[in-house]
Chains A and B, each alone.
Chain A
Amino acid sequence: MAELTNQPLLQVENLSVRYVTPTGTVDALKKVSFELGREKLGIVGESGSGKSTLGRAILRLIPRPGEVSADRMAFMGQDLLAMSKFQMRQVRGKQITMILQDPKFSLNPVMRAGDQILEALSIHGRIGRREGRSRVIDILRAVRIRDPHRVYNAYVHELSGGMGQRVMTAMMVVTNPMLLIADEPTSALDVTVRMQVLAIIDDLVTQRGMGLIFISHDLNLVGSFCDRILIMYGGRIVESCRAADLNKVTHPYSRGLLDSLPSIEHPKPVLATLKRDPAWLEAP
Protein backbone atom coordinates (compact mmCIF):
# COMPACT_ATOMS: atom_id res chain seq x y z
CA MET A 1 0.00 0.00 0.00
CA ALA A 2 2.80 2.34 0.90
CA GLU A 3 4.25 1.72 -2.49
CA LEU A 4 0.98 2.67 -4.15
CA THR A 5 0.73 6.02 -2.42
CA ASN A 6 4.32 6.89 -3.16
CA GLN A 7 3.93 5.97 -6.77
CA PRO A 8 3.56 9.03 -8.98
CA LEU A 9 0.08 9.61 -10.40
CA LEU A 10 1.31 9.92 -13.93
CA GLN A 11 4.58 8.80 -15.47
CA VAL A 12 5.45 9.89 -18.97
CA GLU A 13 8.64 8.81 -20.71
CA ASN A 14 9.62 9.92 -24.17
CA LEU A 15 6.13 10.81 -25.30
CA SER A 16 6.04 11.85 -28.96
CA VAL A 17 3.15 12.94 -31.15
CA ARG A 18 3.70 13.15 -34.84
CA TYR A 19 1.41 14.07 -37.69
CA VAL A 20 2.33 12.45 -40.96
CA THR A 21 0.59 14.36 -43.75
CA PRO A 22 1.11 14.40 -47.51
CA THR A 23 2.72 17.82 -47.19
CA GLY A 24 5.26 16.70 -44.62
CA THR A 25 5.72 15.38 -41.11
CA VAL A 26 5.05 17.58 -38.12
CA ASP A 27 6.44 16.63 -34.73
CA ALA A 28 4.02 18.17 -32.29
CA LEU A 29 5.69 16.60 -29.28
CA LYS A 30 9.27 15.36 -29.18
CA LYS A 31 10.22 12.88 -26.47
CA VAL A 32 8.61 14.56 -23.52
CA SER A 33 9.24 12.98 -20.13
CA PHE A 34 7.89 14.01 -16.75
CA GLU A 35 6.28 12.69 -13.63
CA LEU A 36 3.33 13.99 -11.72
CA GLY A 37 2.35 13.35 -8.13
CA ARG A 38 -0.60 14.78 -6.24
CA GLU A 39 0.50 18.28 -7.04
CA LYS A 40 -0.27 21.22 -9.25
CA LEU A 41 1.90 21.13 -12.32
CA GLY A 42 1.93 24.14 -14.61
CA ILE A 43 2.83 23.85 -18.26
CA VAL A 44 3.74 27.09 -20.00
CA GLY A 45 4.92 27.91 -23.45
CA GLU A 46 4.00 29.94 -26.50
CA SER A 47 1.28 29.04 -28.99
CA GLY A 48 2.19 25.90 -30.88
CA SER A 49 4.67 24.70 -28.30
CA GLY A 50 2.69 21.49 -27.77
CA LYS A 51 1.03 22.24 -24.43
CA SER A 52 -2.48 21.32 -25.51
CA THR A 53 -1.23 18.39 -27.56
CA LEU A 54 0.37 17.05 -24.39
CA GLY A 55 -2.93 17.27 -22.53
CA ARG A 56 -4.81 15.53 -25.29
CA ALA A 57 -2.13 12.89 -25.76
CA ILE A 58 -2.49 11.84 -22.12
CA LEU A 59 -6.18 11.18 -22.77
CA ARG A 60 -5.32 9.59 -26.13
CA LEU A 61 -7.58 12.06 -27.92
CA ILE A 62 -5.18 13.00 -30.70
CA PRO A 63 -7.18 13.14 -33.95
CA ARG A 64 -6.06 11.21 -36.99
CA PRO A 65 -3.55 11.29 -38.68
CA GLY A 66 -1.67 11.97 -35.43
CA GLU A 67 0.41 9.16 -34.00
CA VAL A 68 1.21 8.86 -30.31
CA SER A 69 4.23 6.90 -29.14
CA ALA A 70 5.98 6.70 -25.81
CA ASP A 71 8.34 4.39 -23.94
CA ARG A 72 5.97 4.59 -21.03
CA MET A 73 2.78 6.48 -20.28
CA ALA A 74 1.29 5.13 -17.08
CA PHE A 75 -1.49 6.45 -14.92
CA MET A 76 -1.42 4.99 -11.39
CA GLY A 77 0.57 2.09 -12.72
CA GLN A 78 -1.84 1.34 -15.61
CA ASP A 79 -0.29 1.60 -19.06
CA LEU A 80 -2.48 4.08 -20.95
CA LEU A 81 -1.04 3.18 -24.35
CA ALA A 82 -1.83 -0.53 -23.97
CA MET A 83 -5.48 0.07 -23.14
CA SER A 84 -8.32 -0.80 -25.49
CA LYS A 85 -10.69 1.92 -26.66
CA PHE A 86 -13.25 0.65 -24.18
CA GLN A 87 -10.83 0.70 -21.23
CA MET A 88 -9.70 4.15 -22.28
CA ARG A 89 -13.29 5.41 -22.14
CA GLN A 90 -13.44 4.13 -18.56
CA VAL A 91 -10.37 6.19 -17.72
CA ARG A 92 -11.59 9.33 -19.42
CA GLY A 93 -14.01 11.21 -17.29
CA LYS A 94 -13.76 8.87 -14.34
CA GLN A 95 -10.05 9.05 -13.55
CA ILE A 96 -8.67 11.77 -15.80
CA THR A 97 -10.75 14.71 -17.00
CA MET A 98 -10.01 17.85 -18.90
CA ILE A 99 -11.40 21.36 -18.59
CA LEU A 100 -11.46 23.10 -21.94
CA GLN A 101 -10.78 26.69 -22.77
CA ASP A 102 -13.97 28.53 -23.58
CA PRO A 103 -17.24 27.52 -21.90
CA LYS A 104 -19.19 29.27 -24.65
CA PHE A 105 -18.04 26.56 -27.04
CA SER A 106 -17.34 23.66 -24.77
CA LEU A 107 -20.85 23.29 -23.37
CA ASN A 108 -23.63 21.91 -25.52
CA PRO A 109 -25.88 24.82 -26.54
CA VAL A 110 -29.07 22.77 -26.57
CA MET A 111 -28.70 20.98 -23.24
CA ARG A 112 -29.49 22.33 -19.82
CA ALA A 113 -26.33 22.90 -17.75
CA GLY A 114 -27.45 20.50 -15.04
CA ASP A 115 -28.33 17.77 -17.51
CA GLN A 116 -24.88 18.08 -18.98
CA ILE A 117 -23.26 17.54 -15.62
CA LEU A 118 -25.64 14.64 -15.05
CA GLU A 119 -24.52 13.23 -18.40
CA ALA A 120 -20.98 13.01 -17.01
CA LEU A 121 -22.29 10.92 -14.13
CA SER A 122 -24.52 8.69 -16.22
CA ILE A 123 -21.74 7.87 -18.69
CA HIS A 124 -19.98 6.05 -15.86
CA GLY A 125 -22.73 3.93 -14.43
CA ARG A 126 -26.48 4.17 -14.04
CA ILE A 127 -27.75 6.76 -11.66
CA GLY A 128 -31.29 7.52 -10.56
CA ARG A 129 -32.84 10.83 -11.55
CA ARG A 130 -33.35 12.11 -8.05
CA GLU A 131 -29.95 11.01 -6.77
CA GLY A 132 -28.28 12.40 -9.90
CA ARG A 133 -30.01 15.72 -9.50
CA SER A 134 -28.98 16.06 -5.87
CA ARG A 135 -25.36 15.22 -6.73
CA VAL A 136 -25.39 17.82 -9.49
CA ILE A 137 -26.82 20.43 -7.13
CA ASP A 138 -24.10 19.54 -4.60
CA ILE A 139 -21.31 19.91 -7.10
CA LEU A 140 -22.77 23.22 -8.34
CA ARG A 141 -22.65 24.42 -4.73
CA ALA A 142 -19.06 23.19 -4.51
CA VAL A 143 -18.08 25.44 -7.42
CA ARG A 144 -19.73 28.29 -5.51
CA ILE A 145 -22.80 28.81 -7.61
CA ARG A 146 -25.22 30.61 -5.36
CA ASP A 147 -28.45 29.56 -7.02
CA PRO A 148 -27.78 25.97 -8.14
CA HIS A 149 -31.43 25.16 -8.91
CA ARG A 150 -31.68 28.00 -11.38
CA VAL A 151 -28.34 27.19 -12.99
CA TYR A 152 -29.34 23.52 -13.26
CA ASN A 153 -32.14 24.52 -15.63
CA ALA A 154 -30.19 27.19 -17.54
CA TYR A 155 -28.74 26.88 -21.03
CA VAL A 156 -25.21 28.06 -21.82
CA HIS A 157 -26.34 31.31 -23.41
CA GLU A 158 -28.10 32.19 -20.18
CA LEU A 159 -24.88 31.94 -18.16
CA SER A 160 -22.00 34.37 -17.91
CA GLY A 161 -18.51 33.27 -18.94
CA GLY A 162 -17.40 32.75 -15.36
CA MET A 163 -20.53 30.78 -14.51
CA GLY A 164 -20.09 28.70 -17.65
CA GLN A 165 -16.53 27.85 -16.68
CA ARG A 166 -17.69 26.89 -13.20
CA VAL A 167 -20.32 24.61 -14.73
CA MET A 168 -17.61 23.11 -16.92
CA THR A 169 -15.41 22.60 -13.86
CA ALA A 170 -18.32 21.01 -12.00
CA MET A 171 -18.91 18.71 -14.95
CA MET A 172 -15.29 17.59 -14.86
CA VAL A 173 -14.94 17.00 -11.13
CA VAL A 174 -18.37 15.50 -10.41
CA THR A 175 -17.01 12.02 -11.10
CA ASN A 176 -14.19 12.51 -8.54
CA PRO A 177 -11.31 12.04 -10.96
CA MET A 178 -7.73 11.54 -9.77
CA LEU A 179 -6.20 13.85 -12.34
CA LEU A 180 -7.59 17.05 -13.77
CA ILE A 181 -6.11 18.59 -16.89
CA ALA A 182 -7.03 22.23 -17.29
CA ASP A 183 -6.29 23.54 -20.77
CA GLU A 184 -6.16 27.32 -20.41
CA PRO A 185 -9.32 27.27 -18.34
CA THR A 186 -9.30 30.98 -17.69
CA SER A 187 -8.09 32.54 -20.90
CA ALA A 188 -11.62 33.44 -22.01
CA LEU A 189 -12.42 35.13 -18.71
CA ASP A 190 -11.67 38.59 -17.41
CA VAL A 191 -9.16 39.16 -14.63
CA THR A 192 -11.44 39.23 -11.58
CA VAL A 193 -13.53 36.27 -12.65
CA ARG A 194 -10.31 34.44 -13.50
CA MET A 195 -9.14 34.66 -9.91
CA GLN A 196 -12.47 33.29 -8.62
CA VAL A 197 -12.41 30.33 -10.99
CA LEU A 198 -8.79 29.59 -10.12
CA ALA A 199 -9.58 29.70 -6.43
CA ILE A 200 -12.38 27.20 -6.98
CA ILE A 201 -10.15 24.85 -8.96
CA ASP A 202 -7.47 25.21 -6.29
CA ASP A 203 -9.90 24.30 -3.49
CA LEU A 204 -11.29 21.32 -5.32
CA VAL A 205 -7.87 19.96 -6.15
CA THR A 206 -6.62 20.38 -2.59
CA GLN A 207 -9.75 19.02 -0.91
CA ARG A 208 -10.08 16.00 -3.10
CA GLY A 209 -6.38 15.25 -3.35
CA MET A 210 -6.31 15.34 -7.12
CA GLY A 211 -3.38 15.93 -9.38
CA LEU A 212 -3.65 18.96 -11.64
CA ILE A 213 -2.00 19.76 -14.93
CA PHE A 214 -2.54 23.42 -15.58
CA ILE A 215 -1.84 24.51 -19.14
CA SER A 216 -1.42 28.21 -19.69
CA HIS A 217 0.64 30.83 -21.44
CA ASP A 218 0.48 33.18 -18.50
CA LEU A 219 3.81 32.84 -16.72
CA ASN A 220 2.95 34.90 -13.66
CA LEU A 221 -0.34 33.12 -13.14
CA VAL A 222 1.27 29.70 -13.31
CA GLY A 223 4.10 30.87 -11.06
CA SER A 224 1.71 31.91 -8.33
CA PHE A 225 -0.78 29.08 -8.71
CA CYS A 226 1.22 25.91 -9.28
CA ASP A 227 3.78 23.89 -7.31
CA ARG A 228 6.00 23.02 -10.22
CA ILE A 229 6.40 24.36 -13.75
CA LEU A 230 7.39 22.82 -17.06
CA ILE A 231 8.40 25.24 -19.78
CA MET A 232 7.78 23.98 -23.29
CA TYR A 233 9.15 25.13 -26.59
CA GLY A 234 8.81 23.54 -30.01
CA GLY A 235 7.29 20.31 -28.72
CA ARG A 236 9.82 19.62 -25.99
CA ILE A 237 10.26 20.50 -22.34
CA VAL A 238 13.13 22.94 -22.21
CA GLU A 239 13.12 23.47 -18.49
CA SER A 240 11.44 22.30 -15.35
CA CYS A 241 11.55 24.10 -12.02
CA ARG A 242 9.73 24.65 -8.75
CA ALA A 243 7.28 27.51 -8.98
CA ALA A 244 9.10 29.39 -6.25
CA ASP A 245 12.27 29.28 -8.33
CA LEU A 246 10.65 30.68 -11.44
CA ASN A 247 12.96 33.69 -11.39
CA LYS A 248 16.05 31.52 -11.27
CA VAL A 249 15.44 29.69 -14.55
CA THR A 250 18.48 29.35 -16.77
CA HIS A 251 17.35 28.32 -20.23
CA PRO A 252 17.53 31.27 -22.63
CA TYR A 253 13.95 30.68 -23.78
CA SER A 254 12.62 30.75 -20.23
CA ARG A 255 14.69 33.84 -19.51
CA GLY A 256 13.36 35.42 -22.69
CA LEU A 257 9.77 34.71 -21.65
CA LEU A 258 10.37 36.28 -18.26
CA ASP A 259 12.14 39.31 -19.67
CA SER A 260 9.35 40.04 -22.10
CA LEU A 261 6.85 40.46 -19.28
CA PRO A 262 6.15 43.98 -18.07
CA SER A 263 6.78 44.42 -14.36
CA ILE A 264 5.38 47.13 -12.18
CA GLU A 265 8.39 47.08 -9.83
CA HIS A 266 11.04 47.30 -12.51
CA PRO A 267 9.54 49.33 -15.35
CA LYS A 268 11.48 49.26 -18.58
CA PRO A 269 11.05 51.73 -21.43
CA VAL A 270 11.26 48.97 -24.05
CA LEU A 271 10.40 45.38 -23.30
CA ALA A 272 12.78 42.71 -24.51
CA THR A 273 11.60 40.50 -27.36
CA LEU A 274 12.40 36.84 -27.74
CA LYS A 275 15.34 35.98 -29.94
CA ARG A 276 14.80 32.40 -30.97
CA ASP A 277 17.75 30.13 -31.40
CA PRO A 278 17.19 27.21 -33.83
CA ALA A 279 19.47 25.12 -31.60
CA TRP A 280 16.73 25.04 -28.92
CA LEU A 281 14.67 22.80 -31.21
CA GLU A 282 17.46 20.21 -31.36
CA ALA A 283 19.23 20.09 -28.02
CA PRO A 284 17.30 19.51 -24.81
Chain B
Amino acid sequence: MTANERVQTASPGLRAWLMADAPESGWQAACGRAYRGWRAFAGNPLGLMGLGIVILLLLCAAFAPWIATADPTAQDLTIRLQPPTALHWLGTDRMGRDTYSNLVYGSRVTLYIVVLVLVIAAPIGLLVGSTAGYLGGRTDQVLMRLTDIFFSFPRLVLALAFVASLGPGLNNAIIAIAITAWPAYARVARAETLAVRKSDFISAVRTQGASSWRIIFRHVMPLSLPSVVVRATLDMAGVILTAAGLGFLGLGAQPPTPEWGAMISVGRENILDQWWVPAVPGMAIFIVSLGFNLLGDGLRDVLDPKLS
Protein backbone atom coordinates (compact mmCIF):
# COMPACT_ATOMS: atom_id res chain seq x y z
CA MET B 1 0.00 0.00 0.00
CA THR B 2 1.54 3.32 -0.99
CA ALA B 3 1.54 6.31 1.28
CA ASN B 4 -0.95 8.07 -0.96
CA GLU B 5 -3.48 5.26 -0.72
CA ARG B 6 -3.12 5.10 3.02
CA VAL B 7 -3.92 8.79 3.33
CA GLN B 8 -7.00 8.34 1.21
CA THR B 9 -8.31 5.40 3.20
CA ALA B 10 -7.54 6.99 6.55
CA SER B 11 -8.84 10.45 5.79
CA PRO B 12 -12.62 9.81 5.47
CA GLY B 13 -12.68 8.21 8.91
CA LEU B 14 -10.69 11.03 10.45
CA ARG B 15 -12.80 13.61 8.67
CA ALA B 16 -16.02 12.02 9.83
CA TRP B 17 -14.60 11.92 13.35
CA LEU B 18 -13.74 15.61 13.15
CA MET B 19 -17.01 16.68 11.54
CA ALA B 20 -19.24 14.57 13.81
CA ASP B 21 -22.51 16.32 14.68
CA ALA B 22 -22.57 14.68 18.08
CA PRO B 23 -19.00 14.44 19.35
CA GLU B 24 -18.51 11.89 22.10
CA SER B 25 -16.00 13.84 24.16
CA GLY B 26 -15.00 17.41 24.81
CA TRP B 27 -11.66 16.65 23.22
CA GLN B 28 -13.33 15.50 20.00
CA ALA B 29 -15.55 18.59 19.97
CA ALA B 30 -12.52 20.84 20.43
CA CYS B 31 -10.68 19.07 17.62
CA GLY B 32 -13.73 19.37 15.40
CA ARG B 33 -14.03 23.06 16.16
CA ALA B 34 -10.35 23.61 15.39
CA TYR B 35 -10.72 21.65 12.16
CA ARG B 36 -13.73 23.70 11.08
CA GLY B 37 -11.86 26.88 11.91
CA TRP B 38 -8.94 25.65 9.86
CA ARG B 39 -11.26 24.82 6.95
CA ALA B 40 -12.68 28.34 7.04
CA PHE B 41 -9.18 29.78 7.25
CA ALA B 42 -7.89 27.55 4.44
CA GLY B 43 -10.61 28.89 2.17
CA ASN B 44 -8.90 32.26 2.31
CA PRO B 45 -5.85 32.17 -0.03
CA LEU B 46 -4.49 35.49 1.21
CA GLY B 47 -4.65 34.33 4.81
CA LEU B 48 -2.81 31.14 3.85
CA MET B 49 -0.16 33.22 2.13
CA GLY B 50 0.26 35.27 5.30
CA LEU B 51 0.52 32.10 7.35
CA GLY B 52 3.16 30.78 4.94
CA ILE B 53 5.24 33.94 5.27
CA VAL B 54 5.01 33.89 9.05
CA ILE B 55 5.95 30.20 9.21
CA LEU B 56 8.92 30.92 6.93
CA LEU B 57 9.99 33.70 9.28
CA LEU B 58 9.69 31.38 12.28
CA LEU B 59 11.76 28.70 10.53
CA CYS B 60 14.37 31.28 9.55
CA ALA B 61 14.67 32.44 13.12
CA ALA B 62 14.74 28.94 14.57
CA PHE B 63 17.36 27.55 12.17
CA ALA B 64 19.36 30.73 11.53
CA PRO B 65 22.81 29.19 12.27
CA TRP B 66 22.18 26.36 9.79
CA ILE B 67 20.55 28.47 7.05
CA ALA B 68 23.00 31.34 7.08
CA THR B 69 26.00 30.97 4.78
CA ALA B 70 28.34 33.23 6.73
CA ASP B 71 28.84 34.86 10.10
CA PRO B 72 26.55 37.93 9.94
CA THR B 73 29.06 40.14 11.75
CA ALA B 74 32.21 39.01 9.87
CA GLN B 75 33.64 41.96 7.93
CA ASP B 76 35.79 41.66 4.85
CA LEU B 77 36.57 44.99 3.22
CA THR B 78 37.94 43.32 0.10
CA ILE B 79 34.47 42.23 -0.92
CA ARG B 80 32.52 45.45 -0.16
CA LEU B 81 29.25 46.22 -1.93
CA GLN B 82 29.15 43.17 -4.14
CA PRO B 83 26.07 42.42 -6.21
CA PRO B 84 24.39 39.04 -5.61
CA THR B 85 26.79 36.22 -6.45
CA ALA B 86 26.89 32.48 -5.94
CA LEU B 87 28.92 32.98 -2.78
CA HIS B 88 26.97 35.96 -1.40
CA TRP B 89 23.40 35.25 -2.46
CA LEU B 90 22.10 38.74 -1.79
CA GLY B 91 25.36 40.67 -2.08
CA THR B 92 27.39 42.37 0.63
CA ASP B 93 27.14 45.73 2.38
CA ARG B 94 29.79 48.41 2.67
CA MET B 95 31.59 46.55 5.44
CA GLY B 96 31.69 43.42 3.31
CA ARG B 97 29.12 41.61 5.48
CA ASP B 98 26.96 38.98 3.83
CA THR B 99 23.47 40.50 3.42
CA TYR B 100 21.69 37.14 3.23
CA SER B 101 23.13 35.96 6.54
CA ASN B 102 22.34 39.29 8.14
CA LEU B 103 18.78 39.01 6.92
CA VAL B 104 18.39 35.50 8.35
CA TYR B 105 19.75 36.49 11.75
CA GLY B 106 17.68 39.69 11.61
CA SER B 107 14.51 37.59 11.60
CA ARG B 108 15.40 36.60 15.19
CA VAL B 109 15.60 40.24 16.23
CA THR B 110 12.29 40.99 14.51
CA LEU B 111 10.49 38.14 16.25
CA TYR B 112 12.09 39.03 19.57
CA ILE B 113 10.72 42.57 19.26
CA VAL B 114 7.22 41.51 18.19
CA VAL B 115 6.82 38.91 20.91
CA LEU B 116 8.17 41.05 23.73
CA VAL B 117 6.12 44.08 22.72
CA LEU B 118 2.93 42.02 22.75
CA VAL B 119 3.81 40.31 26.02
CA ILE B 120 4.28 43.72 27.64
CA ALA B 121 1.56 45.75 25.93
CA ALA B 122 -1.39 43.32 25.84
CA PRO B 123 -1.57 42.71 29.63
CA ILE B 124 -1.25 46.45 30.35
CA GLY B 125 -4.03 47.24 27.90
CA LEU B 126 -6.19 44.43 29.23
CA LEU B 127 -5.74 45.57 32.82
CA VAL B 128 -6.38 49.26 32.10
CA GLY B 129 -9.36 48.59 29.84
CA SER B 130 -11.05 46.04 32.11
CA THR B 131 -10.56 48.21 35.19
CA ALA B 132 -11.89 51.32 33.47
CA GLY B 133 -14.85 49.47 32.01
CA TYR B 134 -15.81 47.61 35.15
CA LEU B 135 -15.37 50.34 37.75
CA GLY B 136 -16.76 53.09 35.52
CA GLY B 137 -17.29 56.60 36.85
CA ARG B 138 -14.23 58.66 37.66
CA THR B 139 -11.76 55.78 37.29
CA ASP B 140 -13.05 55.23 33.78
CA GLN B 141 -12.74 58.91 32.95
CA VAL B 142 -9.17 59.18 34.19
CA LEU B 143 -7.91 55.95 32.62
CA MET B 144 -9.58 56.50 29.27
CA ARG B 145 -8.45 60.13 28.98
CA LEU B 146 -4.92 58.88 29.68
CA THR B 147 -5.43 56.38 26.89
CA ASP B 148 -6.65 59.15 24.61
CA ILE B 149 -3.49 61.15 25.30
CA PHE B 150 -1.36 58.21 24.19
CA PHE B 151 -3.60 57.76 21.17
CA SER B 152 -3.32 61.37 20.09
CA PHE B 153 0.39 61.06 19.22
CA PRO B 154 1.56 59.31 16.08
CA ARG B 155 3.03 56.05 17.24
CA LEU B 156 6.51 56.47 15.82
CA VAL B 157 6.86 60.00 17.20
CA LEU B 158 5.90 58.91 20.70
CA ALA B 159 8.19 55.89 20.53
CA LEU B 160 10.99 58.21 19.36
CA ALA B 161 10.46 60.46 22.32
CA PHE B 162 10.58 57.55 24.75
CA VAL B 163 13.70 56.02 23.20
CA ALA B 164 15.36 59.42 23.22
CA SER B 165 14.78 59.68 26.94
CA LEU B 166 15.54 56.03 27.75
CA GLY B 167 18.61 55.89 25.54
CA PRO B 168 18.99 53.97 22.26
CA GLY B 169 19.09 50.20 22.35
CA LEU B 170 17.02 47.14 21.45
CA ASN B 171 15.41 46.66 24.87
CA ASN B 172 14.60 50.33 25.28
CA ALA B 173 13.05 50.32 21.81
CA ILE B 174 10.87 47.40 22.86
CA ILE B 175 9.77 49.21 26.03
CA ALA B 176 9.04 52.36 24.02
CA ILE B 177 6.96 50.51 21.43
CA ALA B 178 5.08 48.66 24.17
CA ILE B 179 4.27 51.96 25.87
CA THR B 180 2.78 53.24 22.62
CA ALA B 181 0.96 50.00 21.80
CA TRP B 182 -1.21 49.36 24.87
CA PRO B 183 -3.95 52.01 24.32
CA ALA B 184 -5.49 50.06 21.45
CA TYR B 185 -5.88 47.00 23.67
CA ALA B 186 -7.27 49.10 26.49
CA ARG B 187 -10.03 50.36 24.18
CA VAL B 188 -10.92 46.87 23.01
CA ALA B 189 -10.86 45.45 26.54
CA ARG B 190 -13.04 48.29 27.83
CA ALA B 191 -15.63 47.74 25.10
CA GLU B 192 -15.80 44.03 25.92
CA THR B 193 -16.02 44.78 29.62
CA LEU B 194 -18.91 47.20 29.16
CA ALA B 195 -20.77 44.44 27.37
CA VAL B 196 -20.44 42.00 30.29
CA ARG B 197 -20.35 44.19 33.40
CA LYS B 198 -24.13 44.38 33.68
CA SER B 199 -24.64 40.66 33.11
CA ASP B 200 -26.42 38.59 35.67
CA PHE B 201 -23.44 36.35 36.30
CA ILE B 202 -21.42 39.35 37.41
CA SER B 203 -24.28 40.30 39.78
CA ALA B 204 -24.32 36.72 41.00
CA VAL B 205 -20.63 36.86 41.95
CA ARG B 206 -21.22 40.21 43.59
CA THR B 207 -24.02 38.82 45.71
CA GLN B 208 -21.47 36.30 46.91
CA GLY B 209 -19.26 39.04 48.22
CA ALA B 210 -16.54 39.07 45.56
CA SER B 211 -14.41 42.22 45.52
CA SER B 212 -14.09 44.34 42.40
CA TRP B 213 -10.53 43.13 41.76
CA ARG B 214 -11.56 39.56 42.00
CA ILE B 215 -14.36 40.15 39.52
CA ILE B 216 -12.07 42.01 37.12
CA PHE B 217 -9.31 39.40 37.20
CA ARG B 218 -11.35 36.22 37.31
CA HIS B 219 -14.59 37.04 35.54
CA VAL B 220 -14.12 40.02 33.25
CA MET B 221 -10.61 39.54 31.87
CA PRO B 222 -11.06 36.00 30.57
CA LEU B 223 -14.00 37.28 28.53
CA SER B 224 -12.19 40.25 26.99
CA LEU B 225 -9.00 38.30 26.30
CA PRO B 226 -10.02 36.80 22.91
CA SER B 227 -10.76 40.20 21.35
CA VAL B 228 -7.47 41.55 22.61
CA VAL B 229 -5.60 38.59 21.13
CA VAL B 230 -7.23 39.08 17.74
CA ARG B 231 -6.44 42.77 17.89
CA ALA B 232 -2.84 41.92 18.78
CA THR B 233 -2.34 39.72 15.72
CA LEU B 234 -3.55 42.61 13.58
CA ASP B 235 -1.06 44.91 15.29
CA MET B 236 2.05 42.84 14.71
CA ALA B 237 2.77 44.41 11.33
CA GLY B 238 2.62 47.87 12.88
CA VAL B 239 5.04 46.81 15.60
CA ILE B 240 7.51 45.52 13.01
CA LEU B 241 7.31 48.79 11.04
CA THR B 242 7.80 50.90 14.15
CA ALA B 243 10.75 48.76 15.23
CA ALA B 244 12.32 49.04 11.78
CA GLY B 245 11.73 52.79 11.83
CA LEU B 246 13.53 53.12 15.16
CA GLY B 247 16.34 50.91 13.87
CA PHE B 248 16.65 53.04 10.76
CA LEU B 249 16.98 56.18 12.85
CA GLY B 250 19.69 54.50 14.91
CA LEU B 251 17.56 54.35 18.07
CA GLY B 252 16.71 50.66 18.01
CA ALA B 253 19.09 47.73 17.84
CA GLN B 254 22.68 48.93 17.76
CA PRO B 255 25.24 47.61 15.29
CA PRO B 256 26.50 44.97 14.91
CA THR B 257 23.13 43.42 15.85
CA PRO B 258 21.63 42.47 12.49
CA GLU B 259 18.38 44.45 12.51
CA TRP B 260 16.53 45.11 9.27
CA GLY B 261 15.86 48.78 9.86
CA ALA B 262 19.48 49.39 10.78
CA MET B 263 20.55 47.49 7.64
CA ILE B 264 18.56 49.86 5.46
CA SER B 265 20.12 52.76 7.27
CA VAL B 266 23.63 51.41 6.57
CA GLY B 267 22.82 50.87 2.90
CA ARG B 268 21.16 54.25 2.48
CA GLU B 269 24.33 55.97 1.23
CA ASN B 270 24.67 53.41 -1.55
CA ILE B 271 21.08 53.59 -2.71
CA LEU B 272 21.89 55.06 -6.14
CA ASP B 273 24.88 52.92 -7.10
CA GLN B 274 24.34 49.66 -5.24
CA TRP B 275 20.56 49.75 -4.81
CA TRP B 276 20.26 46.15 -3.69
CA VAL B 277 22.03 46.84 -0.40
CA PRO B 278 19.12 48.81 1.18
CA ALA B 279 16.45 47.22 -1.05
CA VAL B 280 16.90 43.67 0.25
CA PRO B 281 16.17 44.40 3.95
CA GLY B 282 13.42 46.77 2.80
CA MET B 283 11.77 43.95 0.89
CA ALA B 284 12.11 41.71 3.93
CA ILE B 285 10.31 44.24 6.14
CA PHE B 286 7.65 44.71 3.48
CA ILE B 287 7.03 40.99 3.00
CA VAL B 288 6.96 40.16 6.71
CA SER B 289 4.57 42.99 7.62
CA LEU B 290 2.37 41.99 4.71
CA GLY B 291 2.45 38.41 5.98
CA PHE B 292 1.42 39.41 9.49
CA ASN B 293 -1.34 41.63 8.13
CA LEU B 294 -2.76 38.93 5.90
CA LEU B 295 -2.56 36.38 8.71
CA GLY B 296 -4.28 38.77 11.11
CA ASP B 297 -7.09 39.45 8.64
CA GLY B 298 -7.55 35.75 8.01
CA LEU B 299 -7.62 34.97 11.72
CA ARG B 300 -10.09 37.74 12.42
CA ASP B 301 -12.45 36.39 9.80
CA VAL B 302 -12.34 32.97 11.45
CA LEU B 303 -12.39 34.03 15.09
CA ASP B 304 -14.87 36.88 14.96
CA PRO B 305 -18.36 35.43 14.67
CA LYS B 306 -19.85 38.84 13.92
CA LEU B 307 -18.26 38.93 10.47
CA SER B 308 -19.17 35.46 9.23
Contact = CB atoms under 8 A, between A and B. Distances in A.
**Range class of the B interface residue count:** 10 to 19
Given A110-B222, A123-B214, A105 B200 contact: yes
B209 A106 contact: no
A92 B209 contact: yes
B306 interface: no
Q: Which of A88, A94, A106 lies at the interface centre, i.e. has the most chain B CB atoms within 10 A of its CB?
A: A106
B64 to A, nearest CB: 39
A73 interface: no
Given A108-B219, A110-B223, A120 B208 contact: yes
Contacts of A64: 137
B211 A119 contact: no
Interface string A101-118: 110011111110000000
A98 interface: yes
Contacts of B209: 88-94, 123-124
Contact of A109 (B137, B201, B210, B211): B201
A94 B204 CA distance: 13
Given A102-B200, A106-B200, A107-B201, A123 B207 contact: no
Contacts, number: 65
Contacts of A201: none
Contacts of A102: 200
Contacts of B254: none
B6 interface: no
A84 to B, nearest CB: 12
B189 to A, nearest CB: 15
A110 B205 CA distance: 14
Given A89-B210, A172-B207, 15 more contacts: A61-B206, A89-B209, A89-B211, A93-B209, A93-B210, A105-B200, A105-B201, A108-B201, A108-B205, A109-B201, A109-B223, A111-B219, A119-B218, A123-B210, A124-B209
Interface of A: 59, 61, 64, 88-94, 97-98, 100-102, 105-111, 119-120, 123-124, 153, 168, 171-172, 175
8 tightest CB-CB pairs across the interface, nearest first? A93-B208, A93-B209, A92-B209, A106-B200, A105-B200, A89-B209, A98-B207, A108-B201
14 contacts: A89-B209, A90-B209, A91-B209, A92-B207, A92-B208, A92-B209, A98-B207, A102-B200, A107-B204, A110-B223, A120-B208, A123-B208, A171-B204, A175-B208
Interface of B: 26, 137, 199-201, 203-211, 214, 218-219, 222-223
